[in-house]
Each structure stands twice: as C-alpha cells, then as structure tokens.
Chain A
C-alpha cells in the first residue's frame, strides 16, 4: 500500500513538474518533449489506477503518435522569419486566471472527495473492457471511427499543396 502511495506521488509530481516545464520553457521543441514526459507520467498514473489498457493505449497513441506529429509540425513551421514568437502580453493575467482555476478546482475536489480513499485495488481487465466497448458502447465507438476518418480526410485536404 505504501509503495503504491509513493509511486502515485512520484508520477503525480512528474506530471505536474513537466506540465509546468511545458508552459514555462521558451523553446517549442522542449515544450513538446516536456509534453511527452507529462503524458508518460499520466500513463503511469493510469496503470497505477488499474487501467492497464488505457495506460498502454495512452503511451502508444500519445507518446508514439501525437508527440511525433507535434515535432513534425514544429519542424515544418520553424523557419519563420522575423522575431521569434513566444508569449503575448497577457502573461500576468493568464497566470492569475490559471492560479484561480487551480484554486477553485483543488478546493472543490478536496471539499467533495477529500475524505474518501482511493483503493488502488480494482483492476479493469481488458477482456471486460473490450466486451463492454463492443456491446453497450458500440454506437459511440462507430461514431468515433467515422470522426477519425473525417478528421483524417480533412487534415489531408487542409495540408495539401495545391
């Protein structure tokens, strides 16, 4: 139990620190790599919370595909002439808003669930998840498939040179 607690705090701290790094760094490539670290930490949390399949899917899809996509996007748009674009003039205001949202969310979650213990011991087996996905949730599943197809076609149409 204590080991799991420790693992949770390690992953949570890694996720928090790397997301702060993502928004604090001035280099876009560093930000993308920081995003990868945050996503790996989130996948660790998923696996810790018994969601092995979702955790592995997270690593495959996010770290394997989405971050690579980001790096490609940065690479293809990085030769912009003129001054480098980093931040706009709303940094202070944005920090205030972000801290406010953090305070409200933290206070709300602690007030609602602060006294309940997460047990860490319920695992969701892949078999159960799969049969659930293809029986109760088959309609949303198909809708997501069509959405992915449409997004793919749309992205190709948008990014095509004509």
Chain B
C-alpha cells in the first residue's frame, strides 16, 4: 500500500491524485502502528494513530485549498506545469 502511494506521488500529474496517494502512504503507516500496538500490547500506537488522523485531516484541507487556488489562478491541476518559481 505504501509502495502504491509512492508510485502515485511520483507518476501522477493531477494535484488531487497526489493528495490521494499521500493518504495511501499515511494509511499504510497507520496500519503498521496499530499492528505494533497489538504486537507489543501497548496502547501508545492507538493514540499516535488518532493524532495522525487529525493531522491528516488538516493536511487534506490545506492541500485541497492549494489545489483549488492553483486551478483558479492557472486553470490547470497539473503539478508539473507549476514552474513559476523555477529559473
């Protein structure tokens, strides 16, 4: 699942697809945390996953706002056409 996310980030051009792939990676990490929580009989993993979920919600909100602003200003959602700050 993590590898799928990495592939998505590297191969996709659509801004929203990039965010979706990041979600996949975060979820793979979450599954790992929960698994170790069960394996080590320690509730810390669960608590960390709760924090990760909250932070991810914030990240998605900001990311989608950025994509929407990009669409409004440049009328594209392709991240490799974002060369404004390149020289």
Binding site for B on A (CB under 8 A): 15-16, 19-20, 22-23, 28, 31-32, 35, 38-39, 42, 45-46, 49-51, 53-54, 57-58, 61-62, 65-66, 69-70, 72-74, 76-77, 80-82, 85-88, 90-91, 93-95, 97-99, 101-102, 105, 113, 116, 118-120, 122, 124, 128-129, 132-133, 137, 140-141, 144, 147-148, 150-152, 154-156, 158-159, 161
Partner of B7, one of A94, A129, A150: A94
Compute how far the CA of A77 lies from the CA of B72 in the bound complex, rounded to whole angstroms: 8
B-side interface residues toward A, CB under 8 Å? 1-8, 10-17, 19-21, 23-24, 27, 30-31, 34-35, 37-39, 41, 43, 45-47, 49-51, 53-62, 64-69, 71-72, 75-78, 80
Q: How far is the CB of A97 from chain B (nearest CB, A)?
A: 6
Q: Are A80 and B68 in contact, with the CB atoms below 8 A?
A: no
A159–B65 CB distance below 8 A: yes
A77 engages B53 (CB within 8 Å): no
Contact with A39, one of B7, B27, B34, B68 (Cβ below 8 angstroms): B27
CA of A150 to CA of B37, assembled, Å = 30
Q: Say whether, besides A19-B24, A28-B17, A124-B37, A57 and B53 are in contact (CB < 8 Å).
A: yes
- Minimal beta-carbon separation of A115 from chain B (angstroms): 12
Could you list 10 A-B pairs, sorted by A, with CB under 8 Å?
Answer: A31-B20, A42-B31, A51-B37, A51-B49, A66-B23, A97-B6, A119-B39, A148-B58, A154-B65, A155-B62
Tally the A-B contacts, defined by beta carbons under 8 Å: 207
- B28 CB to nearest A CB, Å: 8
* Whole-angstrom distance between the Cβ of B26 and the nearest chain A Cβ: 10
Residue of A nearest to B66 (CB): A158
Q: Is the CB of B71 within 8 A of A76?
A: yes
Residues of A within 8 A of B2 (CB): 101-102, 105
**Binding site secondary structure of chain A:** helix
B53 to chain A minimum Cβ distance, whole angstroms, is: 6
Taking a contact as CB atoms under 8 Å apart, the answer to whether A129 and B66 are in contact is no
Complexed CA–CA distance, A144 and B51 (Å) = 7
- Are the C-beta atoms of B75 and A81 separated by less than 8 Å? yes
Cβ A98 vs Cβ B6 within 8 A: yes
Q: Quick check: B34 and A49 within 8 Å, CB to CB?
A: yes
B71 & A49 in contact (Cβ 8 Å cutoff):
no
Q: Are A118 and B16 in contact (CB under 8 A)?
A: no
